[in-house]
Amino acid sequence: MPTPRETILTALHAQLSALPATALRGEVLPERVPSAGLLILRDGEPGEPEVTLSPLRYHYQHRAEIEAVVQGANNDTAFDTLCANIGAALLVNRTLNGLCDWVEAEAPRPVDLPVEGAASLKAAVIPVILHYSTADPLS
């Protein structure tokens, strides 16, 4: 049985998979970036929880990361569209169907990366904060 943390990350990946861009989880950057863009979800860091007693609960602000990458002639527009699609997908389901208390993304800091012999990449890491509680820090 998966832990709540894994269930939440799986649900986030499923939500990203509904976008036109290819969504991977925990994979290395492939040699080719699909024309609609590429998203790689990284599990990130749950951080130190706040703890409440009676009942005992661990409240996390888990920082996952989405690596967003586009490649092509019109990188700026494609990247903007990709980020807007991610924002819209998160806005539609802020609790991941009740698995989280709240899901919010932070603004990306895009960079242009030259590629020898090919069109440059435009990429950014988009932090996504997952607010959730568990009964055990290992679950």
Q: What is the pLDDT of residue 133?
A: 96
- In the chain, the domains with their CATH numbers are 4-133 (3.30.70.1700)
Full-model pTM:
0.94
Phi, psi of 108 (to 5 degrees): -80, 160
Residue 124 backbone zone (phi > 0: left; psi -120 to 50: alpha; other: beta):
beta
Query: Is the sign of the CA dihedral 39, 121, 107, 36 positive or negative?
Result: negative
Q: What is the pLDDT of residue 119?
A: 80
The total of other beta-carbon atoms located within 10 Å of residue 122's CB is 24
Quote the distance between the C-alpha of residue 98 and its chain's center.
17
Tell me if 113 sits within 8 A of 51, measured CB to CB: no
The total of other beta-carbon atoms located within 10 Å of residue 26's CB is 10
Q: pLDDT by residue (tens digit) across 28-74?
A: 989 889 999 999 999 999 999 999 998 999 999 999 999 999 998 88
